[in-house]
Structure 1
């Protein structure tokens, strides 16, 4: 072999080893490194647990104690209640029955007033126990069924059993409202109440369009503290409430009111405004009140002082019939309510007109609006069953229990739907990043949902509410985490569109040299032009 041929073989060998080194670095180091650096980071999630939410307990256990004069009456009422709730998909009553003791029997027969009878029951039993309701027989009733503010319902005899069951379904446990929580369709109560939240801002705005023509004497701060504050104190363990008040001046709204003759008014007329126009007032209030900038949901309560030249103002339905009410007011679902206070003719007839709104009527109207906004719906009328009208600002005890059950179910259902939507979204879009923080929130929400469902099935509604609240907040935190949007602007097709022009020119000589490398390693001759 000549010296020239040896030199040529050496050069060819160097070229081949250089090509092999380049291919090795590119394939063994380059491609894995590129694959790893472009990989979307995803924490493992409990998809199997999320998909099995429907298998969790769905009923709420409630304790129901029957106290009757004899075993037969108690047994008949128990059988009727069990049959009525047999097909219920929400409430599962755990019934205990007993015969009234002679002492309590005589005490109930002796007292004439039902409120005194409730006190007798309270002395013998613990009425402060949540999620526990008492059905007590009491013969000297003017109605077949009597229900007050405490967790006690009186019934006259076994003939009132049907009314007792109906009152439990529609008043005490509100099964139709609870069933609407899990339904895909939105009922009236659900469309009115605000969504669950850790807290709410309650803002009372006194709107005074003509401060230069009418002096208004109304202590908004004191009214909020005395009425709204007392009401929300009973619900403070459910939500954190922040109470505020403000005055808005010179907000003159064009009601397009029409003058209507009215012989019942001192002025001989009133002004009518159509109800379908009042929603435009909310827009003006939103612009001036600026309550929508708060992080927590806001409940708006607006007291609109009607100017003297439009007083008295009366709301009319779409069929041109006036709204018959002591206070003219309207409510906007999930927003709040507005009360119109019209000064009287003597108020506007003075040399220095002054108006003092009736605080009790105004705040009573606001409380009536606040109840359904927070989830306490108005109860229906049941013939021969008497519901004691509210005598205090606070909500009834059994209404609060029902609200706890409602909010617990609502938070569990909302958390479940949020996680299911998020799991579906993560499955459809592969380049969404799932950080450790998001994964921790999702796992915490799943565990809290499972725990809250079992606590409800056991009847522990307070711990169930606290757990469901954690589940709701954790699910919302995971769903709204900004890191989920990190790579949404850089989908896979754009990634390949960027990297292919970068790697394709490099890969061509690599792919072409692979054949020559295989031939060279096998000891077969390789032409120089093929290498180059």
Structure 2
């Protein structure tokens, strides 16, 4: 019996080199290729710039021109205004002062009508420029300060400086509203108004639950065009509006109202609790607010009460009727509702017919629309008066205030979206950032930087850039592709890959051991030979 001859050194060497080649291909090519093909794709983002943004640094620079009869009055007015606004971090005033020309001063003193005085000033100074305001001395005033519908306020004399400062702070510049607009935690006004947007849809719905019992003469389309259309035309520089009207029949709601006897023409009224009306929005939402697009919809609903439910009065939480010429309520970020009750004479007719007061109803809707879009109400100030709204159009200084508010709010919203996204990317490694998302983020960052520079130069241009930044940031944050790999976390990835690679890695590890021993033996043999 002969012994098996040991393998030749050539065969052993070939086998070992073949193993070494396999291990080399797996480690040098296989592992990097697997690592590259399984990594999460992320475009390079400007994290440093995002982290340096702060909403509290955003401030609007506005021009204020003081025109007085003499230098002493002008200096006193300017000093008091500077002292009041020097610590403000939302409004920076660029104040100029002039002496009123003798001819214009005599004209203002002789003119009795305030609006005529405004026209005289408008002929001498430019009142049409955005983000500018004029305070002009006029002795013929019944109060200390009178605020016009234009970018102009009259003050009586130097003793009115304190009142003038309050008018500028609370009415014209609305510093408290601006401060709330840029905070991360929304205040009451921000919780009520609609969020920033490029376009809004305004839908007027006339709800007629009993068309067979009461005929109503109301031209909804004309009312929308004449009132709401004229109002939103003034806001065209800020938003695009789409107007729509519709009639909704047989949409009844159980108010669970309580009948209360009174001395009115009806001899009674129906009392409904204020909190009960919020349930009405659910019924209205089903049909009154069709989703015409993804843009926000401002809902305005006119509910025509049938005779057996009229008149309806809204009661507050203290069981007291809310005294108002129109029974109406508003829902934040949704819209407003007006409850119209026909008169007793209308319901006693053989064929009950009612004609709602269009001016009163649409005036109520406009008041609600102003609040929902961000035009703040003016609190009362002793010694000051504001020109009444003689038309549906907003005052010029209200437009500037809204422009400042929306600019700061959009910059704050864009920054918050970018900061949240950057934080998520740091916490969740599976979020994919593709080229489109990266382009939106970079565009938002550039728009924020450009808007911050223009806040001191051109407010309208800054507003447009802030709107672009807000849209880009929201687009990036809400991009569906960010969720592509969130359903496949790392633990599941390893649970799939380990059973695949582990059977392959065992022979590789054993081969590495044999290779090391073989190479070590070769080295020892070489040393002995030498």
Superposition TM-score, scaled by structure 2 size: 0.96
CA distance in 2, matches of 1:187, 1:380: 17
Q: Which residue of 2 aligns with 1:503?
A: 501
Q: CA deviation at 1:519?
A: 2.6
CA contact 2:270–2:310 (8 Å) conserved in 1:
yes
Q: CA deviation at 1:290?
A: 4.0
In structure 1, the residue corresponding to 2:126 is in which secondary structure?
coil
Q: Which residue of 2 aligns with 1:126?
A: 126
Q: CA deviation at 1:524?
A: 4.2
The 5-angstrom pairing of residues 243-392 of structure 1 reads 243-263=243-263, 265-292=264-291, 294-392=293-391
Q: CA deviation at 1:523?
A: 4.0
CA distance in 2, matches of 1:185, 1:32: 46
The 5-angstrom pairing of residues 7-46 of structure 1 reads 8-46=8-46
The 5-angstrom pairing of residues 140-151 of structure 1 reads 140-151=140-151
CA distance in 2, matches of 1:131, 1:466: 14
The 5-angstrom pairing of residues 80-99 of structure 1 reads 80-99=80-99
The 5-angstrom pairing of residues 214-225 of structure 1 reads 214-225=214-225
CA contact 2:271–2:312 (8 Å) conserved in 1:
yes
CA distance in 1, matches of 2:309, 2:489: 61
Q: CA deviation digits over 1:239-259, x for unaligned, max 9?
A: 110100111111111111111
CA contact 2:183–2:412 (8 Å) conserved in 1:
no
Q: CA deviation digits over 1:384-403, x for unaligned, max 9?
A: 10112211100000000000
Q: Which residue of 1 aligns with 2:470?
A: 472
CA distance in 1, matches of 2:97, 2:382: 26
Q: CA deviation digits over 1:114-168, x for unaligned, max 9?
A: 1000000000011101111000000110111101200110000011000000000
CA distance in 1, matches of 2:193, 2:3: 97
- Superposed CA RMSD: 1.7
2:527 is equivalent to residue 518 of structure 1: no
CA distance in 2, matches of 1:120, 1:406: 30
Q: CA deviation at 1:196?
A: 0.4
CA distance in 2, matches of 1:131, 1:353: 52
The 1:184/1:29 distance shift into structure 2, 3 A limit, reads closer
CA distance in 2, matches of 1:206, 1:43: 50
The 1:293/1:489 distance shift into structure 2, 3 A limit, reads farther
The alignment of Structure 1 onto Structure 2 pairs a total of residues equal to 523
In structure 1, the residue corresponding to 2:370 is in which secondary structure?
helix
Q: Which residue of 2 aligns with 1:529?
A: none
In structure 1, the residue corresponding to 2:58 is in which secondary structure?
coil
The 1:254/1:324 distance shift into structure 2, 3 A limit, reads same
CA distance in 2, matches of 1:188, 1:324: 23
Q: CA deviation digits over 1:255-279, x for unaligned, max 9?
A: 111111121x212111111111000
In structure 2, the residue corresponding to 1:427 is in which secondary structure?
helix
In structure 1, the residue corresponding to 2:204 is in which secondary structure?
strand
Q: Which runs of 5+ in 2 are unaligned?
A: 525-530
CA contact 1:136–1:154 (8 Å) conserved in 2:
yes
Q: Which residue of 2 aligns with 1:463?
A: 461
CA distance in 2, matches of 1:57, 1:454: 12
Q: CA deviation at 1:7?
A: 5.1
Q: Which residue of 1 aligns with 2:410?
A: 411
2:487 is equivalent to residue 484 of structure 1: no
223-232 or 506-515, which deviates more: 506-515
CA distance in 2, matches of 1:431, 1:285: 42
Q: Which runs of 5+ in 1 are unaligned?
A: 527-532
CA contact 1:519–1:525 (8 Å) conserved in 2:
no
CA distance in 2, matches of 1:459, 1:23: 66
The 1:496/1:331 distance shift into structure 2, 3 A limit, reads same
Q: CA deviation at 1:3?
A: 12
